[in-house]
Amino acid sequence: MAYTHYYFIGIGGIGMSAIARYFKHQGYEVSGYDRTPSALTHALEEEGISVHYEDDVDAIPADVAHTFVIYTPAIPEELGELQYVRSHGYALCKRSKALGEIARGQECLAVSGTHGKTTTSTLLAHILTQSGEGCNAFLGGISKNYDTNLLLSRNPVLVAEADEFDRSFLQLHPHIAVVTATDADHLDIYSDHAHVVEAFGQFTAQVDADGAVIVKEGVEVPLEETRAKVFRYAYDTPCDFYASDITPLPGGRFDFTLNYPGGSIAHCKVGVPGWVNVENAVAASAIALLHGTAPEKIREALASFQGVKRRFDIHIETPRIAYVDDYAHHPNEIKAAISSLRNIFPGRRLTGIFQPHLYTRTRDFAPDFAEALSGLDALILLPIYPAREEPIPGVTSDIIFDRVTIPDKVLIPKEQLMEHLRSRDLDCLVTFGAGDVDRFIEPIETWLKSRL
């Protein structure tokens, strides 16, 4: 069947929008639905993709035979449009299957893990692009080097962020894959940590037998079924790939030697700050080296990497005020971000705004969130962003708030956030969360700059 139109239900998602852009670039008609307008949906519209924001079956292309529907599992099953295409004979699949089909026939380089995926995969795509080889990349964030989440090339190499949500990554069969972390997460899908770890074992078992799996040192992955050669990487623990001679530079950056089997690359520098990004650079470089990228090309690309929007994104950095935004929405991500902030802004008073993401994640990790957030000097906590979920009785931001041990803490509706900020004497401010807290980035940045 020759499809002429690709229709996306949930087109504003970061992964969905990349695939929508891909099919638009391939010359197909592309349109879709999303619940709320955003910077991403506006960008899609500017690129000629029609987006609407009401659950409206009349907006679905009527030509059933020539329309292929792609949907995200984040969309509720009861959505009218989803029920309509299911009952009216449209060809349809989940986003993960669509990405798996696109990856088929290309050399797939995949980055998996419960955190660190987006920065690592974007950095890998940047290395391959800057080396001159090029790649096709479907990214989980907006690259600041290229201002997009999709890179296209004639070279049949595909960089994919392998998402564990809904077991999506099991649609991929990579040639080389990295595993950054297998922490408990998405327990609404997996029920317990053991099933999360088991799924990563299934994923690594799907890597080509003549390929490679690179697992972070200390990360638990069952590798009994993995046929590919297994390597380990670390921040500074000697193993197959690791950093040594780590020397701090101004602004929270580092100079380091990247060690790999058979050699080392001296004086590497990552263009973005934070020790976590040295670790991410080791992982991305490990894939690139095993893929065959020249070491000197890797060194050059690391230095010119500008990062990813909403991933430890420094918006203001002055002696009077600093403002950083980060997508962290898991306790371990928040801990790592706070550690990096303390390193970059030593001695400064750190105020954090956190919007919990999902009722289930809040329920499952409330004590861990509280412990992580207690590493701040001051906390402004917002209500839970529900995303795809219905409320769970007894699960509110209070179950985090009550456990936070620092005295300077407040729980407020997001509508009061800007007014509350104006009452504070801020030194170093950070926003955390995967919900719609990003809507406050521009107003916060504008207001803070007006005070400089």
Q: How far is CA 230 from CA 70, 196, 223, 296, in A?
A: 34, 20, 8, 24
Same domain, 56 and 24: yes
Q: Beta-carbon neighbour count of residue 442 at 10 Å?
A: 11
> What is the band of 194 on the pLDDT scale with cuts at 50, 70, 90?
very high
Quote the pLDDT of residue 242.
98
Residue 141 to residue 450: CA distance in whole angstroms: 28
- Distance, in Å, from the CA atom of 282 to the CA atom of 75, rounded to the nearest integer, reads 35
**Same domain, residue pair 163 and 229:** yes
Domain-ending residue, one of 67, 94, 121 = 94
Task: Judge whether 293 lies within some domain.
Answer: yes
Residue 388 pLDDT = 79
Do 320 and 397 sit in the same domain of this protein? yes
CA angle 166, 149, 295 (to 5 degrees): 100
Looking at the fold, whether 266 and 292 belong to one and the same domain comes out as: yes
**Same domain for 183 and 291:** yes
Q: Is residue 47 one of the residues assigned to a domain?
A: yes
pLDDT (0 to 100) of residue 319 = 93
Residue 259 lies in a domain: yes
pLDDT at 1: 55
The answer to whether 226 and 248 are in contact (CB under 8 A) is no
Whether residue 280 sits in one domain with residue 366: no
Length of the chain: 452
**For residues 66-74, average pLDDT:** 95
pLDDT (tens digit per residue) in 7-62: 999 999 999 999 999 999 999 999 999 999 998 999 999 999 999 999 999 999 99
- Asked if residue 312 lies in contact with residue 337, where contact means CB atoms within 8 angstroms, the answer is yes
Integer Cα distance of 309 and 326 in angstroms: 8
Q: Do 333 and 300 share a structural domain?
A: no
Contact 136, 115 (CB under 8 A): no
CATH of the domain at 131: 3.40.1190.10
Q: pLDDT > 90: what percent of the chain?
A: 93
The stretch 329-339 carries a mean pLDDT of 95
For 326-329, the CB contacts below 8 A with 24+ separation are 326/430, 326/431, 326/432, 327/118, 327/141, 327/432, 327/433, 327/434, 328/115, 328/432, 328/433, 329/356, 329/357, 329/361, 329/432, 329/433, 329/434, 329/435
Question: pLDDT value at position 65?
Answer: 96
> Structure pTM?
0.91
Q: Which residues contact 404 (CB under 8 A, 6 or more apart)?
A: 370, 373, 374, 379, 381
What is the average per-residue pLDDT within 299-304? 98
Q: Which of 304, 339, 357 is the last residue of a domain?
A: 304
Q: Are residues 343 and 372 in the same domain?
A: yes
Mean of the per-residue pLDDT values for the chain? 96
pLDDT digit string, tens, across residues 151-189: 999 999 999 999 998 899 999 999 999 999 999 888 878
Tell me which residue range forms the domain holding 276.
Answer: 104-304
For residue 414, give the CATH number of its domain: 3.90.190.20
Residues 297 and 333 in one domain: no
Distance CA 32, CA 53 (A): 9
State how many domains the chain has: 3
Q: Cβ atoms within 10 A of the Cβ of 13, count?
A: 24
Which of 246, 278, 304 represents a domain boundary (last residue)? Answer: 304
> For residue 67, what are the CA distances in angstroms to 5, 8, 62, 82?
5, 10, 8, 14
Better pLDDT: 452 or 406:
406
For the segment 104-132, what is each residue's pLDDT rounded down to a tens digit?
989 999 999 998 999 999 999 999 999 99
Residue at 99 is within a domain: no
pLDDT band (50, 70, 90) for residue 414: very high
DSSP 219: -
Instruction: Tell me whether residue 388 is in a domain.
Output: yes
Residue 282 lies in a domain: yes
Token representation of residue 212: 């490679």
Domain assignment present for residue 252? The answer is yes
Same domain, 15 and 88: yes
pLDDT band at 255 (very low <50, low <70, confident <90, very high): very high
Check whether residue 125 and residue 212 sit in a common domain. yes
* Res 376: pLDDT: 98
Answer yes or no: do 160 and 221 share one domain. Answer: yes
